[in-house]
């Protein structure tokens, strides 16, 4: 079953505004990661938050994790046109063994930042 | 940072032919590599986990006879789409786990078009 579900599926904002994307998952996790993908390109790792962390910052990115609600949010502040991309959350499951290293991706949020 | 190279980035082939996609870790050893498939405007779906020196572990619904995976060295995994059909047209992405640090790096993806 799909582990991560992002919402909204698409988001269009003006440059300078903040963009918030949410991700929900179903099972316990070791960590949750956010990735960015420009159209037709590979994935770029943005930030990782572990299951025992609640908030993490990296530059203009702020990620929160609520394990009780099985949800995470990615906030991009002061957005730029160059932030236009698809953003995916991905989870690593909370059990040991070969499967624990697999990432399960959500459906993604397509962000468009209008100059 | 570490780089994962995928080749070719684009390939067009005739129906019935086989296509090989390479995934190389350029400056680290990767005991585990992952192959994903991404349909247009969709998320990444894990196809298989490739472990160096052993058989790949395929996800449910992925035909292992159709998608042959070989991980013969610590820096190279290959995915061969055998007897390709138009429905195999997709974007294939690999990722490689650094055996030393555990970090995961993604390739730029390979777009396969089967005519």
| Residue with more model confidence, B20 or A31 | B20
pLDDT at B37 over 60: yes
The pLDDT tens digits for B1-11 are 569 999 999 99
- Percentage with pLDDT > 90 across chain B: 68
Which of the residues A21, A43, A103 would you substitute to probe the B interface, choosing the one with the greatest number of B C-beta atoms within 10 Å?
A43
**Rg (chain B; Cα; Å):** 13
Q: What is the pLDDT of residue B52?
A: 85
Instruction: Tokens for B63, please give them.
Output: 């035909």
Q: Are B63 and B80 in contact (CB under 8 A)?
A: no
- Percentage with pLDDT > 70 across chain A: 90
The pLDDT-based confidence of A4 (bands split at 50, 70, 90) is low
**Rg (chain A; Cα; Å):** 14
The pLDDT-based confidence of A19 (bands split at 50, 70, 90) is very high
Instruction: Tokens for B57, please give them.
Output: 């572990």
Sign of CA dihedral A69, A75, A40, B71: negative
- CB spacing of B45 vs A101 below 8 angstroms: no
CA distance B7 to chain A (A): 12
Instruction: Tokens for A110, please give them.
Output: 């397509």
DSSP B75-114: TEEEEEE-S--GGG-EEEEEEEEETTT--EEE---EEEEE
Q: What is the pLDDT of residue A95?
A: 53
Q: What is the pLDDT of residue B114?
A: 96
CA distance A68 to chain B (A): 25
- CB spacing of B106 vs A43 below 8 angstroms: yes
Average pLDDT over residues B67-93: 94
| Edge-to-edge strand ranges of the sheet holding A5-7 | A5-7, A19-24, A71-76, A61-66, A55-58
Q: Are A18 and A76 in contact (CB under 8 A)?
A: yes
- CB spacing of A103 vs B34 below 8 angstroms: yes
Question: Of A40, A101, A107, which has the smallest distance from its Cβ to B32's Cβ?
Answer: A101
| Residue with more model confidence, B43 or B84 | B84
Average pLDDT over residues A88-112: 77
Average pLDDT over residues A57-64: 95
Residues in chain B with CB shorter than 8 Å from the CB of A108 are: 42-43
- Percentage with pLDDT > 90 across chain A: 63
pLDDT at B13 over 60: yes
Interfacial residues of A (vs B; Cβ cutoff 8 Å): 2, 35, 40-45, 88, 98, 101-108, 110
């Amino acid at each position: 079953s799909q582990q991560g579900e992002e919402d909204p599926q698409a988001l269009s904002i003006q440059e300078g505004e903040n963009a918030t994307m949410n991700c929900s998952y179903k099972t316990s996790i070791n960590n949750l990661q956010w990735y960015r993908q420009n159209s037709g390109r590979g994935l770029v790792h943005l930030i990782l938050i572990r299951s025992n962390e609640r908030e993490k910052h990296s530059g203009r990115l702020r990620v929160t994790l609520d394990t009780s609600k099985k949800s995470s949010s990615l906030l991009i502040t002061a957005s730029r046109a160059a932030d236009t991309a698809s953003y995916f959350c991905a989870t690593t499951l909370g059990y040991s063994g070969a499967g624990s290293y697999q990432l399960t991706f959500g459906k993604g949020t397509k962000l468009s930042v209008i100059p | 940072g570490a780089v994962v190279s995928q080749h070719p980035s684009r390939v067009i082939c005739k129906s019935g032919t086989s296509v090989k996609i390479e995934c190389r870790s350029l400056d680290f050893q990767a005991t585990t590599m992952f192959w994903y498939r991404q349909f247009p405007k969709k998320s990444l779906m894990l196809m298989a986990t490739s472990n160096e020196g052993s058989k790949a572990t395929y996800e449910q619904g992925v035909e292992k006879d159709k998608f042959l995976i070989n991980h013969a060295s610590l820096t190279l995994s290959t995915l061969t789409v055998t007897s390709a059909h138009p429905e195999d047209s997709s974007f294939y992405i690999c990722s490689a786990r650094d055996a030393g640090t555990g970090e995961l790096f993604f390739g730029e993806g390979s777009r396969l078009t089967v005519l």
